[in-house]
Amino acid sequence: MADISEIHLPQLVTDLAFILGTAGVTTLIFKKLKQPVVLGYILAGLLVSPNFPLLPSVVDGANITVWGEIGVIFLLFSLGLEFSFKKLAKVGGTASITALTEVVGMLLFGYLTGKFLGWSTMDSIFLGGILSISSTTIIIRAFDELGMKSQKFVGLVFGALIVEDLVAILLMVLLSTVAVSHGFGGEAMLLSILKLAFFLALWFLGGIYLIPTFLRKSKKLMNDETLLVISVALCLLMVVLASKAGFSPALGAFIMGSILAETVYTEKIEHLTKSVKDLFGAVFFVSVGMLIDPQMLVEHAGPVILITFVTIFGKFFSSALGALISGQPLKQSIQVGLSLSQIGEFSFIIATLGVTLNVTSDFLYPIAVAVSAITTFTTPFLIKMSEPFYNLLERHLPERWKAALTNYSSGAQTISSASDWQLVLKAFGQTIIVNAVVMLGIILLAINFLAPFVAANIPSTLWSNLLTVFVALVFMSPFIWALAIKQIQNPAYTRLWRDKKYTRGPLVAMETGRYVLALLLVGFLLDRLFSIQVALIIAAVLIGVVFPLLTKRLRTTYDRIEQRFLTNLNARETENVDPAKKLLPWDAHLAHFTVSPESPAVGKTLIELAIRERYGVSIAQIERGRLILPIPRGNERLYPADRITVIGTDQQLEEFRPLVETVAAEEEMVSLQPDVSLRQLQVDERFPFLGRNIRESGIREKTMGLIVGIERDGERILNPDPDTIFSLGDIVWLAGETRLIKTLE
């Protein structure tokens, strides 16, 4: 029997025990002090690092760094689950303007700061790059700890962060080009943008088509354990694909999270992976704390203080300005600006790039770490003070300034009707981009993987090339037909063709362009395996003769593919009506709370609590185990562990929270059950309750519904008084059973 003293314990286990033990103690202290635990993790990292000699230090720092990188992956995966591509598209324009304004502004501020300090041109350029990207992981954790994820501005912050991550990839390419050639490589920049756009589109289209279908077909075999394993496997698979394509692993994790967010499993996956994310995320923040060197902070105290000041105020100014330009109200712009006032993981990557290329000075990386550490500590406090700062600013702003900002914001968010040309160009653009991306993806797979495999098994080059082309064309054929031959079914197209003869020339040119693009893509595949002359002849015969003869079969196949894609894309909306989207015009939204056993509301009826009168919010649903109570009546009581869905503004929800949650709990956006919806009704001559007030109409009893708001003459009345009379032209927002509400439409 071996001596127990000879058993070898891996150093990683010892380090993790030390790290997690220290982190546990510090986070308990920070919880007691009511401070965000992310600060406790960073302090724990400082305590276990070699820079703090009073305690033992971590021995195997490289492995801890790897665990920290895994933490970033799971944090971004979690963000993707909460913020799908369709949500990104909804705030895309606003988020893009905000993020790009911030990045450009900080590139300029960083460069000027470096020059002011007497640094070289290359150090100054890299400093601008380091300061331009905010920290996604730090902001996510700060929002989690502060319980602010339900607030309206958070969606814009998340959108801006994702845009920044995409910009950071291009920024690294640009900085590499500048470092090597001492000039700006415009061609390399353009190719990187096109490459990124192509892979994003390809991954999204392929992921939405394949993954929800796979999950749906294996539903009977799927338990919690299997779903967790499959979700993590898909996440890491996309991380590998993103890395192979030359992108950030974190970007791959976010993309897979966004794809899974379109499935009906998203809430369950988020719940199952939360513990994994929390564990690895804790190690990541500890690893950030380990990079803090107090001696380096003292040695470079002057530059660190100056750059920290520039980071906080520069990023606040540039991102708030970008949000204002994009049409956001002043309050949300200030909240966004103060939330983005830090640097993080991408800053470390950019700083490391300068060291690797040997074009930056030795002091730049330690300064970046120090500034990141300081701004990490300040981030939660800046986020908390954003609303008080807005209130202070509003009291001192001239009235005409406030009126001008309000008018600009309202005007910028007004949706104007699209012209016929806009509609036609959008239809052409979708058809061309979607089908061209899929065709190019099939071509790359055929050339890089299928052709070598076939050539290894078939000695004849001619026959192996013919087989490769045949297989590729079989998969490409529905998309070739859709790109080159399928008619654009759009009323605007018909109007332009029929009513305005001078528009037929551009329409014919666009149709010809579709055909030519399909010809070039098929020719590109054939050219890789045959001569250019043979490639063009075969491509022309296929598209001009063969595919028109197979129109019916190709149309059926393409329609089936398109229908499956759309079914997968809209699966969540089909199974869960999301009334939060209907509330976007209002400064109100849905939030979910769990009633704590210690809550003073336990055992009381809704009438006794007078929630609507005291807090201005409305309870839309109570979930009690398997029992769902949509639009509960006033005599319904609240019980411990009830999950309640509440409608209100940020301020109203924050005032309401202490009533039901005596211990801070994570608040999240949720959707109602399929039989409950929030619908918009127009009061016209046929409206059955015209001229009657809400109480007399009995609309609540007839629809099992709740009047959430009324829009009248441009004024929005949230939670109207029961004596409010329905007037001609009113727009009524009614939450209740979909089937009953439809009887009024």
> Tokens 């104007």 identify what position?
416
618 lies in the same domain as 693: no
Contact 247, 196 (CB under 8 A): yes
444 lies in the same domain as 354: no
Distance CA 332, CA 153 (A): 5
Tens-place pLDDT, residues 520-563: 887 777 777 776 666 667 767 766 666 666 777 777 888 888 88
Residue that terminates a domain, selected from 521, 550, 575: 575
373 lies in the same domain as 463: no
What is the pLDDT averaged over residues 629-646?
A: 83
565 lies in the same domain as 607: no
Q: Name the band, by pLDDT with cuts 50, 70 and 90, for residue 501.
A: low
What is the pLDDT averaged over residues 286-290?
A: 75
Question: Which comes out higher in pLDDT, residue 497 or 573?
Answer: 497
204 lies in some domain: yes
Q: Hey, what are 79's tokens?
A: 């963000």
648 lies in the same domain as 701: no
Q: How many CB atoms lie within 10 A of CB 3?
A: 6
Distance CA 530, CA 527 (A): 5
Reported as half-sphere exposure (CB side, CA atoms, 13 A), residue 698 has a value of: 3
What is the pLDDT averaged over residues 170-179?
A: 70
Q: Hey, what are 703's tokens?
A: 């629809």
Contact 226, 278 (CB under 8 A): no
Contact 128, 350 (CB under 8 A): no
Domain ranges, residue 692? 676-742
Q: Spell out the SS3 assignment of 642-681.
A: CEEEEEECHHHHHHHHHHHCCCCCCCECCCCCCCEEEEEE
pLDDT > 50? residue 339: yes
487 lies in some domain: yes
What is the pLDDT averaged over residues 611-640?
A: 81
Distance CA 604, CA 107 (A): 57
φ, ψ of residue 590 in degrees (nearest 5)? -95, 140
Q: Residue 471 belongs to what H/E stretch?
A: helix 461-484
| Of 238-242, 532-536, 646-650, the least confident | 532-536
716 lies in the same domain as 627: no
> Tokens 């009248």 identify what position?
712
Distance CA 312, CA 91 (A): 24
Contact 597, 634 (CB under 8 A): no
69 lies in some domain: no
512 lies in the same domain as 611: no
SS3 breakdown of the chain: % helix, strand, coil, rounded to 5?
70, 5, 25
302 lies in some domain: yes
Tens-place pLDDT, residues 205-217: 888 888 888 888 8
Q: Hey, what are 2's tokens?
A: 């071996």
Q: Hey, what are 147's tokens?
A: 């319980």
Residue that terminates a domain, selected from 610, 632, 659: 659
Q: Residue 581 belongs to what H/E stretch?
A: none
Regarding pTM above 0.75, the answer is no
Q: How many domains does the chain have?
A: 4
Mean pLDDT, the chain, whole residue set: 76
Residue that terminates a domain, selected from 541, 575, 609: 575
Q: What percent of the chain has pLDDT above 90?
A: 2
pLDDT > 70? residue 581: no
pLDDT > 80? residue 276: yes
455 lies in the same domain as 316: no
429 lies in the same domain as 330: no
Tens-place pLDDT, residues 88-136: 565 567 778 888 889 899 999 999 999 998 888 888 888 888 888 887 7
Instruction: Write the CATH number for 603.
Output: 3.30.70.1450
389 lies in the same domain as 426: no
500 lies in the same domain as 476: yes
Q: Name the band, by pLDDT with cuts 50, 70 and 90, for residue 665.
A: very low
Reported as half-sphere exposure (CB side, CA atoms, 13 A), residue 544 has a value of: 9
Distance CA 463, CA 365 (A): 56
| Residue whose C-alpha is closest to residue 480's, from 566, 534, 540, 407 | 540
Tens-place pLDDT, residues 456-475: 888 777 778 778 878 887 88
Residues in Cβ contact with 99 at an 8 Å cutoff, skipping those fewer than 6 apart:
159, 160, 161, 163, 164, 167, 319, 322
What pLDDT was estimated at residue 445?
A: 84
Q: Name the band, by pLDDT with cuts 50, 70 and 90, for residue 587.
A: low
109 lies in some domain: yes
Q: Spell out the SS3 assignment of 514-564.
A: HHHHHHHHHHHHHHHHCCHHHHHHHHHHHHHHHHHHCHHHHHHHHHHHHHH
Contact 238, 250 (CB under 8 A): no
| Residue whose C-alpha is closest to residue 386's, from 319, 432, 301, 308 | 319
85 lies in the same domain as 148: yes
